[in-house]
Structure 1
Amino acid sequence: MTNTTPQAASAAESATAKPALIERNGIEIIAEAERTAKPRDLFWPWFAANVSVFGMSYGTWIFGFGVSFWQATLVALIGIPVSFALCGLIAIAGKRGSAPTMVLSRAAFGVHGQKVPGIVSWLTSIGWETFLAIMATLATATVFAKLGLPSGTGVLIAAAIAVAALIVVASVLGYHTIMKLQGVLTWITGAVTILYIILTIPHINMDAVMAIPAGSPQAVIGALVMVMTGFGLGWINIAADWSRYQKRSASDASIVAWNTFGGAVAPVLLVVFGLLLAGSDPALMDQISYDPIGALASILPIWVLIPFWLTAVLALVSGAVLGIYSSGLTLLSLGIKIPRPAAAAIDGVILTIGTIYVVFFAQSFIDPFQSFLITLGVPLASWAGVLIADVLTRRVDYDENALFDANGRYGAFDWISLGTLVVASVIGWGLVINQFADAASWNNWQGYLLEPLGLGGVDGPWAYSNIGVLVSLVFSFVVTLLLRRGKIRRQEAAPATDGDN
């Protein structure tokens, strides 16, 4: 792929016109004239992708750790904003380098070394977008059944294809279309979500909610890690993809603030309300474990089911669009030489196949998905720790040409960062366990450090804390601050890389 150099970007400025229907930019540097976004624009994609009523389902999963309502509320109030603030720190790199997250990460891992965390990122994005498509498909069948409409195999197939088509079309059209789409969806999903809350308030039983006993500190930590992984950390590998069109003059603090506010404000409210609903009705809690959206729809009056269903599906599609757009960019960063729309289409095919397989053939997917999420969450947290430390240490913008040149100042491999990633992952996996041993037996190898470190083994109090994710993040952050500061200064002092790459 030919990458746009600063010289080419400057030449393109004079020819800049209204954005084309299909975004042609791939992983190359965004031309100066196209960097017109403002920090407040970041509110729309992050809010729209996270305002889904699906967020209420986390109330059930948090209670699954054996914590009280107040402990669970504290987890939501801390874990969600902090996780999106970490996304905001990564988003700063997008403004400084005007390239996708996984391209900017080459400054920390090397042009070729970045492919290691890049593969983890791609798998994570594919997993998330497929999960959201599955949720939308199952919700369609459940709502149709309650309305007395056909809800069998034919409907599931049609729903899966329609959902996948919406996601793929929007992601192929690209950044400008997605930003407009998210702006519209924000108002629609927000309004219907408020209506849902009003209609289901009578379902809350505060006596039952307050009667839920408190859990151990380890249980609170486990719930905190799950919430952080499910929200901000689940998006952190794509954070700079949505800030790369920001003006160079944009404030770093404003980028972090709008990213955090947009991503966290809706989930905090939705999770707390979900805690109230789940704590009020054990039967509802059980239903949410299999079909979150369908279960939440089951307590609504019939007349509101259609708008609820449409809004829920659109909100899930909104989140999946962000994922598939970015997974396409990540695919390109791994060296695949195809246009960006084609990369998004390839990931769309994978999403469709995954959705159909899970809906029609898998016995259970919630549990394996959560196991998959924690497993990939460990190296992803390590990568985030490295990159956040790298972003906070740098004093000047990226050498854009060097991001595409293995002989440039960032080199082919950064062995300190890669070594940190490996060591942090080994430690992290040793401190998490597969909490879904029956549904995901392929993950039963984890937790090997719990007993040697005196934490009680796989049946001890720390086993379900998933502390390995936080350890991996913090370990990589600290090691990078200590060991790479000098190298970063040398990188910044090196001559600029030639534009012919």
Structure 2
Amino acid sequence: MSETATSGSGLEQTRRLGVETTGIEIIEESERTARPRDLFWPWFAANVSVFGISYGSFVLGFGISFVQAVVVTVVGIVVSFALCGVIAIAGKRGSAPTMVLSRAAFGVNGQKVPGVVSWLVSIGWETFLAILAVLATATIFDQLGWSGGTTTQVVATIVVALLIVSASVAGYHVIMRMQSVLTWITGLATIVYVVLTLDEIEWSAVSAIPDGSVQQMVGALVMVMTGFGLGWINIAADWSRYQHRDAPGAAIVGWNTFGGAVAPVLLVVFGLLLAGSSDELSAGIVADPIGTLGTLLPTWFLVPFLLAAILALVSGAVLGIYSSGLTLLSLGVRIPRPAAAFVDGVILTLGTIWVVFFAEDFLGPFQSFLITLGVPLAAWAGIMIADIALRKSDYDDEALFDPAGRYGSVDVTSLATMVGASVLGWGLVVNNFATDATWNNWQGFLIEPLGLGTYVDDPAGPYWEGPWAYANLGVLLALVLGFGVTFVARRAKVRRQES
């Protein structure tokens, strides 16, 4: 069966079997029944997590005041999810997964380069969420005075893996129903958490935090954008491909942005108030986010808090694993979509087991690797957004699967732009885990030549000095370069393709 073959009765099979059989093929017209407001549920459920409260400590860690941190939080979260909304327009126009639609910009075969990056990012971050869920279970059990040892971690790993893998294998329609339920559960638990911890806020301490520099605000802004919207941008069209082709683009962007941003904005601002009230609490959150947040709660609410935290993390991981399975298919792996999701779920499970039970020095290097991939992902996002902005009509369905079609096999301009923007971007970011991931200390090679900072090779651990060193300008540079070069250099080519 060809890659472009439609599922025929995909929706009927889903209703009968409970498993979505549609893979990366174009969604049939009869199945495009979703409405823009339906996008609210998956994005809200995946981001209404108490883990978002911990970002308050991360943002203040850049040395900025509460007011500056609020500005950075609102701008970073809203803008980054709005960019996801722009990518989601492609899903409505083409009714195919994000990495298939990206073939219009990179070519049918050229797309495999950003496809591999996207697959690694999705697998990596969702494994990280699963790890947090398992470790949070052990921490909360310790606080309850129950066993938080190996047995607890084994059971937690099995439960978390089963939840993530089973939902991802079931597919779009089951996930959408699941997310609408999780939204209420996690949302209610989060509200209760906020009410129970309001008395921990000391406004005098929060308001006394001094202002930071513009450079520190930029660094916090990049961190917020990367941790929220940009972390989802490579899968944004996967959740809009069931939208009717006549759905307004503004509505797609609006509901995507509202669903993704509303909870994180409120949660991070509350986290700023908590972290700004206590240096001890702020330091603890950095070391153990969910466990430290749990120390503020009465014993009777620890179990509901744990369940809500796990379900929220699982909710985010489900979206990622479902999409990573679609990306795997777009790379040419010829297996059914449920099997692809299962394969990625197994990889996630093995990664979680390795980190939780065996690895002695893995989490730091692992996070460093994922942050490194964020630069080429930002470059891809800039290219994709520019390509969407340049196109005035829907995608040519057949050409997305035909190297001899109008999109071609390899778009040299897009690939060169992505590589160039990534290299320059890596030159302006630093390795935040310099001691744990010394193999990644080559990053930031443009900082000293441009006078933006100085590398200090201290025996206790290398670090950077200078106002711009930790601003991580490379992510923004890669995003802007990807967009700017593509918008200018490929304008004529896109016009020819659409004619």
Q: If the length of structure 1 is used for normalisation, what is the TM-score? A: 0.95
Is 1:67 matched up with 2:64? yes
**Alignment deviations for residues 461-492 of structure 1 (CA, whole Å, 9 cap, x no partner):** 11100011001100110101100010001111
Shift of 1:460: 2.0
Mapped contact 1:100–1:240 kept (Cα < 8 A)? yes
Is 1:257 matched up with 2:263? no
Shift of 1:213: 2.1
- Once the two structures are overlaid, the 10-residue window that deviates more, 336-345 or 274-283, is 274-283
* Residues 370 and 279 of structure 1: CA distance in aligned 2, closer, same or farther (over 3 Å): farther
Counterpart CA distance in 2 for 1:195 and 1:456 is 44
Mapped contact 2:11–2:20 kept (Cα < 8 A)? no
State the partner residue of 1:199.
196
Is 1:476 matched up with 2:473? no
Is 1:336 matched up with 2:333? yes
Shift of 1:365: 5.8
- Once the two structures are overlaid, the 10-residue window that deviates more, 449-458 or 361-370, is 361-370
Mapped contact 1:111–1:405 kept (Cα < 8 A)? yes
Mapped contact 2:13–2:21 kept (Cα < 8 A)? no
Q: What letter is aligned with 1:404?
A: F
Q: What letter is aligned with 1:81?
A: V
State the partner residue of 2:461.
none
Shift of 1:373: 3.5
* Residues 295 and 457 of structure 1: CA distance in aligned 2, closer, same or farther (over 3 Å): same
Mapped contact 2:10–2:21 kept (Cα < 8 A)? no
Counterpart CA distance in 2 for 1:19 and 1:85 is 36
State the partner residue of 1:497.
none
* Residues 206 and 364 of structure 1: CA distance in aligned 2, closer, same or farther (over 3 Å): farther
Mapped contact 1:102–1:114 kept (Cα < 8 A)? yes
Mapped contact 2:13–2:19 kept (Cα < 8 A)? no
Is 1:271 matched up with 2:268? yes
User: Which residue of the other structure, out of 346, 349, 353, is the alignment partner of 2:350?
Assistant: 353
- Once the two structures are overlaid, the 10-residue window that deviates more, 187-196 or 279-288, is 279-288
Shift of 1:369: 4.7
Mapped contact 1:447–1:457 kept (Cα < 8 A)? no
Is 1:2 matched up with 2:8? no
Is 1:486 matched up with 2:483? no
Counterpart CA distance in 2 for 1:282 and 1:358 is 29
Is 1:103 matched up with 2:100? yes
Shift of 1:12: 5.4
Counterpart CA distance in 2 for 1:320 and 1:381 is 20
- Once the two structures are overlaid, the 10-residue window that deviates more, 418-427 or 350-359, is 350-359
Q: Which runs of 5+ in 2 are unaligned?
A: 456-464
State the partner residue of 1:170.
167
Counterpart CA distance in 2 for 1:23 and 1:16 is 7
Q: What letter is aligned with 1:475?
A: L
State the partner residue of 1:467.
473
Counterpart CA distance in 2 for 1:373 and 1:66 is 24
**Alignment deviations for residues 413-464 of structure 1 (CA, whole Å, 9 cap, x no partner):** 0000000001000110001111220122121000011122222344221110
Is 1:411 matched up with 2:417? no
Counterpart CA distance in 2 for 1:19 and 1:101 is 27
Mapped contact 1:75–1:223 kept (Cα < 8 A)? yes
Q: Which runs of 5+ in 1 are unaligned?
A: 494-501
- State the superposition RMSD in angstroms: 1.6
SS in 1 for 2:395: coil
Counterpart CA distance in 2 for 1:375 and 1:320 is 20
Mapped contact 1:208–1:280 kept (Cα < 8 A)? yes
SS in 2 for 1:23: coil
Q: What letter is aligned with 2:472?
A: N
SS in 1 for 2:271: helix
Shift of 1:13: 9.5
Counterpart CA distance in 1 for 2:429 and 2:440 is 10
State the partner residue of 2:278.
281
Q: If the length of structure 2 is used for normalisation, what is the TM-score? A: 0.95
Is 1:298 matched up with 2:295? yes
Is 1:161 matched up with 2:167? no
Shift of 1:17: 8.7
Mapped contact 1:289–1:366 kept (Cα < 8 A)? no
TM alignment of 1:14-413, pairs within 5 A: 18=15, 20-363=17-360, 367-413=364-410
